[in-house]
Amino acid sequence: MTDAQPRTALAELTTMRVGGVPAHLLGPSDRDSLVAAALEVWGSGDDWLLLGGGSNTIAGDDGFDGTVIRIVTRGVEQLPAPEGRVRLRVQAGEPWDDLVALAVRNGWAGIEALSGIPGSTGAAPVQNIGAYGQEIEAALLGVEFLDHQSGEVTTLTKADLGLGYRTSVLKAGLQGIVLSVDLELADNRVPGGVGAPLSAPIAYAQLADALGVTLGSRVSVAELRRAVLALRSSKGMVLDPADPDSVSAGSFFTNPIVSEGFARELPRGAPRWPVTPPEPAAVLGLTDGGVHPGDIPPLADGPYDVKLSAAWLIENAGIRRGYSLPGSAAGISSKHTLAIVNRGGATAQDVAQLASLIQARVQSEFGVLLRPEPVLVGVVL
């Protein structure tokens, strides 16, 4: 099989550091080789799994009885763009944060609040990554896509992708491979090089507070990136060999979206943000001191959907930072209840047992079933 790589445990290829050895592992180094390898695997009828940076995958202890295709193709190409804009075509294997760093260095705005998110660029549209008031959807033009059913390379526009909160048609079942991603950013370089390129307007209260500005303000893209990296690091959400809380798959559960009527039945102190009608400008974040009931904005008359805080639900179901099951090497991050971390030698089963306990506690206490954000391969909750 072309582009075969040495047998390697998935624990070595994922940020959670769990998972056994797959039957086959491929790592095509360029786009054409990736297409050829995928078509060969699909033609064989072998089970297959895509793996980019491994930051959003929890793999089972028994490995994968099929072929893992690692997406390692790299490169960023600048395309023709309208005045004041920059268009980029990014190969799927380009590390996402390397791309953000490149944009910030060049004074291009639109993805700076997505700094520090691990993983590959090709995976970013799959779950419409977002953080601190930005989502990739705002900058996304479309993707080049190798369709599993037809075997053809096609272009999917942003509209075709059906993007939503941490989802897309790619996550919902359209099978294939994102080969490259097209983005459009604002070219905020100052003519003559006088002054720092400015960020997009700040849309997240915690980030605005960290920068000492009001919502809607703009700061330099470099300053905003530094603030985001510091916030993520304080939560163990930046990969750091010196930080045991960073050995995770990031946020393990998505924030649940429920009906307005259901949200009204939750305790008054539960953070909740209307999704439709649009979310209010001020978004409250959990702090060490919690959220005071008087800080929660009242809900308007329904019906509409409301986003809840998974972190608040977990903490108020009695599961605190640092919690672990007796004898397990998997635990809740000491910085952030949404992250399950590998404290050294954890198995996928350890992770699954803890995640299942969290789901059961939250459902019992609040009637909400938390949904895992990572892709589970050979792991059942």
Nearest to 177 by CA among 39, 271, 67, 311: 39
Both tokens of 356, joined, read 């299942």
125 in Cβ contact with 181 (< 8 Å): yes
Residue holding tokens 């078509």? 39
pLDDT number for residue 284 = 40
pLDDT of residue 290: 45
Residues carrying CATH 3.30.465.10, the chain: 76-230
- Name the residue with tokens 């259901």: 262
The CA distance from 219 to 171, in Å, is: 34
CATH 3.90.78.10 range(s) for the chain read: 244-377
Give pairs for 358-362: CB < 8 Å, separation 24+. 358/252, 358/253, 358/314, 358/317, 358/319, 361/314, 361/317, 361/318, 361/319, 362/310, 362/313, 362/314, 362/317
Q: What is the pLDDT of residue 192?
A: 58
Please report, to the nearest 10 degrees, the dihedral formed by the alpha carbons of residues 313, 315, 317, 319 taken in order. Answer: 140
pLDDT at 165: 87
**Residue 42: what pLDDT?**
97
Query: Is the Cβ–Cβ distance between 26 and 67 less than 8 Å?
Result: yes
Pairing outcome for strands 130-131 and 134-135: antiparallel
Which three-class secondary structure state does DSSP give residue 345?
coil
Q: Are 258 and 308 in contact (CB under 8 A)?
A: yes
What whole-number distance in Å separates Cα of residue 21 and Cα of residue 24?
A: 8
**244-377 placed in CATH 3.90.78.10:** yes
Q: 85, 80, 77, 97: which is closest to 188 by C-alpha?
A: 85
Quickly tell me which residue has 């640092």 as its tokens.
322
CATH architecture, domain defined by 10-70:
2-Layer Sandwich (3.30)
49, 181, 283, 364, 375 from 69: Cα distances, Å = 6, 18, 39, 39, 15
Sole residue written with tokens 């996928």: 348
Cβ atoms within 10 Å of 2's Cβ, excluding its own: 10
What's the pTM value of the predicted model, to 2 decimals? Answer: 0.87
Q: What is the pLDDT along the chain (381 residues), one digit of tens a residue?
A: 557 777 899 999 999 999 999 999 999 999 999 999 999 999 999 999 999 999 999 999 999 999 999 999 999 999 999 999 999 999 999 999 999 999 999 999 999 999 999 999 999 999 999 999 999 999 999 999 999 999 999 999 999 999 998 899 999 989 999 999 999 999 998 775 556 899 999 999 999 999 999 999 999 999 999 999 999 999 999 888 889 999 999 999 999 999 999 999 999 899 988 886 544 444 444 444 444 444 555 666 667 899 999 999 999 999 999 999 999 999 999 998 999 999 999 999 999 999 999 999 999 999 999 999 999 999 999
Q: What's domain 76-230's architecture?
A: 2-Layer Sandwich (3.30)
In angstroms, the CA 135 to CA 343 distance is: 30
Domain with CATH 3.30.43.10 in the chain: 10-70
Place of tokens 């999704």: 275
**Sign of the alpha-carbon torsion through 117, 121, 127, 128:** positive
Just list the catalytic residues.
166, 251, 373
CB within 8 Å of 279: residues ≥ 6 apart: 273, 307
Q: Report the distance separating Cα 81 and Cα 250, nearest Å.
A: 34
Q: Count how many residues are written for the chain.
A: 381
What is the C-alpha separation between 200 and 205, in angstroms, rounded?
14
Contact 350, 233 (CB under 8 A): no
